[in-house]
Chain A
């Protein structure tokens, strides 16, 4: 099956954007990350023949691009939490809670965030995540467990 950059964009943009958000914790940065990933797709699309291969590749490139964004942000010292304007007390509480979740996720390593997002948000199996990261399945679940424990500890 041959793939076109447009078809890949239509099919995968949301997934890449979601993973970009999980890793960076910022919606506008997630859009930037997704666009950078798809610039790479435009360049490299001719190498791919199958759907499964491109999914793995897209997730890897997203992780790599997102890590660069996070490293840049850390360097500039700007902490970005992308939240809407709020008016009611309930909204304020909700936004404060979401900000604390983003903060807790930012305390995880990129490898832990990736495993957590791919399993819990993207619904990938341990085996699929192991293929994406190039690590044994046992490493996937141990990182996943450690990430969940740390996330919940941060939120307590």
Chain B
């Protein structure tokens, strides 16, 4: 590390002892570049301090209550996905006993989708934890986002096409039973979910990726 690097670290240090202060002042009297660095640092720090002095302090008790509500909500989402898996599996078995193959197929698709949601939400939280202790945070974050975008694009397209084919098949087949109307409704919901992922989630992931290195546009 060069002398100037050490001095710049001293300029940005929150606290300096007398010896460090002396080294700093001696260097600044000879180095115009570090002097300019210090002037810029002081000016921008003043701006940021002023901004933060205006920040209202949060109420800890209120924040803690909201935190518990949010944690409870996330727990309920995972539980709902697990219930969805169990119900889909039981319904698929019921259709199997009735001998109606399209129903079995669609219910197994629903079982798979519920399992995917449960797995995805638990993987997301594990991924946050893993990134927190990775050696190369920014680069791992970027790889994580790229991987997610790829998964969302390929899975969403696949599921979307499959759902549309199912809906078309059910309509062409003339809805052979009352249960098929329910399945048609479920397939439409799945298609809406896929559309939501493509139109809302994907642009957010792309936006997050662009934020890592590039400033936001507009």
Contact = CB atoms under 8 A, between A and B. Distances in A.
Interface of A: 9-10, 13-14, 17-18, 21-22, 27, 30-31, 34-36, 38-40, 42-44, 47, 53, 56-58, 60-61, 64, 67-68, 70-72, 74-75, 94, 98, 101-102, 106-112, 116-117, 119-121, 123-127, 132-135, 137-138, 141, 144-145, 147-149, 151-152, 155
Nearest to B214: A109
A134 B129 contact: no
Interface in B108-156: 125, 128-129, 131-141
30 contacts: A13-B63, A34-B58, A36-B70, A39-B67, A39-B70, A39-B71, A40-B125, A61-B128, A64-B128, A67-B208, A68-B208, A71-B207, A71-B208, A74-B207, A74-B216, A108-B215, A109-B211, A111-B213, A112-B215, A120-B48, A121-B48, A126-B12, A134-B137, A138-B5, A141-B9, A145-B40, A148-B41, A148-B44, A152-B43, A152-B44
Contacts, number: 172
Interface string B3-43: 00100110011100000000000000000000001001101
Given A35-B66, A56-B132, A106-B216, 20 more contacts: A9-B67, A18-B55, A21-B55, A35-B63, A39-B70, A64-B131, A68-B208, A71-B204, A71-B205, A71-B210, A98-B50, A111-B213, A120-B12, A120-B41, A120-B44, A120-B45, A125-B12, A133-B138, A134-B136, A152-B43
Contacts of A145: 37, 40
Interface string B186-218: 000000000000001001111110111111111
Contacts of B138: 111, 133-135
B44 A116 contact: yes
Contacts of B178: none
A14 B44 contact: no
B40 A10 contact: no
B45 to A, nearest CB: 5
Contact of A13 (B5, B60, B139): B60
Given A71-B207, A125-B9, A137 B1 contact: yes
A153 to B, nearest CB: 10
* Interface SS, B side: helix
* Interface SS, A side: helix
Interface of B: 1, 5, 8-9, 12-14, 37, 40-41, 43-45, 47-52, 54-58, 60, 63-64, 66-67, 70-71, 74, 125, 128-129, 131-141, 200, 203-208, 210-218
A125 B137 CA distance: 18
A119 B37 CA distance: 14
B122 to A, nearest CB: 9
A47 B57 CA distance: 29
A148 B40 contact: yes
Given A18-B55, A132-B137, A151 B44 contact: yes
Contacts of B37: 145
Given A35-B67, A56-B132, A43 B125 contact: yes
Contacts of B45: 120
A31 B63 contact: yes
